[in-house]
Copies of this chain bind each other. A is one copy, B any other.
Amino acid sequence: MKMWGSRMSKPTDPLVERLNASASFDIRLADEDVVGSVAWAHALGRAGVLGSEDLNAILRGLSAIREEFADGRFKLAPTDEDVHTAVERRLTELIGPAAGKLHTGRSRNDQVATDFRLWIQHACSKLTAHVVDLLEAILTSAEAHLHAPMPGYTHLRQAQPVTWGHWMLSHSWAFGRDVERLAQASASASCLPLGSGALAGTSVPVDRASLAGELGFHAVSDNSLDAVSDRDFVASFLFACALLGVHISRLSEALILFSSVEFGFVELDEAFTTGSSLMPHKVNPDPLELARGKAGRLIGNLTTLLTVLKGLPSAYDKDLQEDKEPAFDSVDTLTSVLPVLSGLVRSLRTDPAKMAAAISPEAFAVDAADYLVERGVPFREAHASVGKAMRLAGEKAMPPDRLTLEDWQSVDPRFDADILHVFDLATALERRNTKGGTSHRALEEQLAAARARLAELKVAKAG
């Protein structure tokens, strides 16, 4: 069945039908399409366009179709151009010509926008739940070794000591922002286009505010042309997915490094590794590599949509059909990656001893500079003196904590015997005691804040 055709004097070319058909993928909107149609039927009823007999038949039919979808019994017909056609075709089979009244005052243009906005809102909820689960895994890991010292890196070079908890928590804030972005994308999707017709509004006096309420939308579109052509909500969603993917790639990269034999800070559970077809010894971090690589795909999906949208002139152009597959793919990608990452983090074994042992004495250089600063030396001079001491240690091929007092004083006479105390790990960590720092207090406050934030997110998700 086609929703059009009597206008044409000849059949559509079969290759065009294939190119044009979207049912193979937009069938994923089936539930949203039926739900939207139920609401539309009610609205037509309230507007006096559908009599109660027709209304009841349509509702009965739609209910049956929804079950068929839920059970996997629904069968696409070869002629079903898209999900909307499929539903109307099936409704006609079930209830006869009355089905033909459902599309009164409605167009596929406002219908698909409504379906897709519902779907994106559901997708945001689903992805949020996955990110929340990952956050729980991260916070659990952070808490387990909140104060376990490890080398902190900048430029992949040891910088200053931090702790495992500190490092793990750093990722939690990034993923927390992703939850916010998903909420923003969901909010931008929550505006009802239904009742906009093909582009110019509908002549049926439906109550759009009630429709919105029934379907859970928080707003009603203000302009029918904009309503059928606006895909900002998809772009916002794909952007949220892309940046989430970037965060996943950064955590993954770090875990690949930290679980290598060269770093050795953590060990991946074997359930989260794979092997080699040729090399019998291999225990590879494939899930982390895939997680890292998927960022490329998520960025590509965003590029796709933005490029599709660029330069489109009028209310609805068929190019807009290209909005769905990138969104479906981004959801599928994240839905497969996020639970794996959560499981991997949960089963990660950290090696606090190795992490602590790996900290280079050079990583206390700031503390050595602070030593002079506390003795009144301007920081820039202190920095220079410690730099020279570090160079001296390098020339002597010894770690800086092995320099003698004479060595220290040879570069700056203001160093005193207690300079050697700056290499104390616990002290160094405690000294950074402002918000976001590495002291016990700062870390415990941070963990508490992260837990509180997570609790909020879970409430919001439930709400």
- The CA-CA distance from A254 to B313 in the complex, in Å, is 5
Q: How many residues of A contact B (CB 8 A)?
A: 200
- Which of B8, B49, B304, B439 contacts A273, CB < 8 Å? B8
A42, CB-defined interface residue at 8 Å: no
A74, CB-defined interface residue at 8 Å: no
A36 cross-chain contacts in B, Cβ below 8 A:
none
Pair A277/B20 contact, Cβ less than 8 Å = no
**A9 → chain B, closest Cβ, in Å?**
6
A309 cross-chain contacts in B, Cβ below 8 A:
246, 250, 296
Determine the residue in chain B with the shortest Cβ distance to A81: B274
Q: Digitize A238-278: 1 where CB-to-B-CB distance is under 8 Å, 0 elsewhere.
A: 01001101100110111011001111000001111111111
The 5 tightest CB contacts between A and B, nearest first, are A201-B437, A300-B304, A4-B275, A100-B380, A293-B319
Q: List 26 A-B contacts (CB under 8 A).
A: A4-B276, A7-B283, A8-B387, A9-B270, A13-B271, A15-B336, A20-B290, A84-B277, A97-B378, A105-B379, A152-B199, A154-B315, A155-B318, A156-B317, A157-B261, A173-B223, A197-B432, A198-B366, A201-B437, A202-B437, A208-B436, A249-B310, A257-B257, A260-B262, A297-B304, A307-B307
Given contacts A9-B394, A12-B274, 5 further A-B contacts (CB under 8 A): A107-B276, A156-B285, A222-B446, A224-B436, A249-B311
Pair B200/A162 contact, Cβ less than 8 Å = yes
A254 cross-chain contacts in B, Cβ below 8 A:
313-314
A174, CB-defined interface residue at 8 Å: yes
**A159 → chain B, closest Cβ, in Å?**
5
Pair A7/B295 contact, Cβ less than 8 Å = no
- Given A293-B322, A308-B297, A280:B6 Cβ within 8 A: yes
Most buried by B among A160, A252, A277, A286: A277
A421, CB-defined interface residue at 8 Å: no
A365, CB-defined interface residue at 8 Å: yes
- The CA-CA distance from A201 to B154 in the complex, in Å, is 13
**A447 → chain B, closest Cβ, in Å?**
10
A303 cross-chain contacts in B, Cβ below 8 A:
296, 299-300, 303-304, 307
Binds B, one of A118-126, A227-235, A454-462: A227-235
**A245 → chain B, closest Cβ, in Å?**
8
Q: Which of A416-452 contact B (CB under 8 A)?
A: 431-439, 442, 446, 449-450
A312, CB-defined interface residue at 8 Å: yes
A61, CB-defined interface residue at 8 Å: no
Q: Digitize A76-91: 1 where CB-to-B-CB distance is under 8 Å, 0 elsewhere.
A: 0000000011001000
A63, CB-defined interface residue at 8 Å: no
